[in-house]
Structure 1
C-alpha cells in the first residue's frame, strides 16, 4: 500500500491528534499515533538516497574549499526539499501534520547522527557542518509552528565540538572547557561526557591523550 493509500484508507488519521479524555478518544488517539508512525516509516525511503549521500561524503575540507563555500548546500538543500511533502499535507489535519513532521524529523535526525558519527572531520568541516545544521533547522521551521530547535540539539552540539580550534592552538582546550557543563550559562549539553570524547576523536588533530585528560 502506498503512503497516499495509507492516508486515505483510515479516516482516523485525520482525527484531531489532541484527543479527548474519555476511553474512546484515548483509543482513537492510539490508532492515530500508530497510523502516523506507519506513514513516517513509509516516507523514510524517499530520504534514503540523500542519507546514502551523507554516508559516502568526505568530511575533510581544505582552506580553499571552505573559502569558496565548500560543501555548503548539497545534501542539506535536497533533504529540505524532500521534507516539504506537499502531497501528504492536504490529507491531514494541522495537528496530525505537525505530529507527522516532528516524528519524521526525529527518525531522520537519529539516522544523521549515526552517519555523521562515523566520519573523520577537519576543523573546517566541523564549522561547515554547523552551517549545514543551521540551514536544516531553518528549513524545518517552515514546516511546523511547534518548537523544533531542541530536536536538533544533539546534532548541533556535535557540530560545535567538531568545529573547535586545533588542539595545538593556544587556548583551544580552555575554549572548549569554558563552554562545557550545565553551569556555564551558555549551553545545556545533551551529549554525555563519553559522547563528547567520541566526537572529539573524529578530529584526528586531537590526540587521544588530550581527549582523555579533559576534565568533563
Structure 2
C-alpha cells in the first residue's frame, strides 16, 4: 500500500512536469487513472486484513492453544522444592518462548515488515487471551503465585524483545493477575 501511494505521487509529479500542454479531456483521463490507482490502496488494505485474520485462524490460534495448555498441566500449587526447581528450569514459559520464536521465525522472510508486525500483534493477543483463560482454570498457592509472576515477567520480557511496539498493554491483565496472586491480603491492594 505504501508502494502504491509512492507510485501515485511519483506518477502525478511526472505528469505535472512532463505533460504541461495536455488538453482538459486528456488530463481528466489521467486524473481518473491516478484516482483508480489510489483507490486500490483501500482494496489492498482489506485483502491484508483478511489475510491476517486467516493467518490467525490457521497458523496462530491452533498452535497457541496447545502451547498454553501446558500451563494447565503445570501445577501452581507447589512446594519449596518445586519452586526452586522451576526457577532453574521453568516448564511453561521457556517452552512457550521457544514455540513462539519458532513460529515467528518461520514467517520472518515471508512477510513484509508491516505484515510481520501485524502477525506479532495477533500472536501476542492470542497468547494473552489463551493464558488468561488458563489462569482461571488453575489453582494457586503463595509459591504458585510467585511462579506465575516469574512466568508472566519472562513472557512479557521476551515478547517485548521480539516486537518493536509495546506489547505490555496486551498483557496488562496477566500482569494484574500475577500481582493479585502475590498479595498476602486484600489490604495490600
TM bucket (normalised to shorter chain) is 0.7 to 0.9
Please report how far the alpha carbon of residue 61 of structure 1 lies from its aligned counterpart in structure 2 after TM superposition: 1.3
Do residues 130 (structure 1) and 143 (structure 2) align? no
Distance 1:121 1:16 in 2: 49
Give the corresponding residue for 1:213. none
Q: Give the TM-score, by structure 1 length.
A: 0.64
Q: Which residue of 1 aligns with 2:43?
A: 27
Shift of 1:71: 8.3
Does structure 2 conserve the Cα–Cα contact (< 8 Å) formed by 1:66 and 1:124? Answer: yes
| Cα deviation, residue 31, structure 1 | 1.1
Q: Residue in 1 aligned with 2:31?
A: none
TM-score, scaled relative to structure 2: 0.73
- Corresponding residue number in structure 1 for 2:16: none
- Corresponding residue for residue 73 of structure 1: 90
1:104 aligns with 2:123: yes
Output the aligned Cα RMSD: 2.4
More helix by share: 2
Greater relative CO (CA pairs within 8 A, separation 6+): 2
- Partners of 2:133 and 2:52 in 1: CA distance: 24
CA deviation vs aligned residue, 1:119-146 (integer Å, no higher than 9, x gap): 1110111111111011001111222101
Q: Deviations over 1:70-91 (max 9, x none)?
A: 5852121111112122121111
Asked if the contact 1:16–1:95 (Cα under 8 Å) also holds between the matched residues in 2, the reply is: no
State yes or no: 1:53 paired with 2:70: yes
Instruction: Mark the runs of 5 or more structure 2 residues left unpaired by the alignment.
Output: 7-37
Inter-partner Cα distance in structure 1 for 2:115 and 2:2: 7
Change in Cα spacing, 1:109 to 1:26, as seen in structure 2 (3 Å) is same
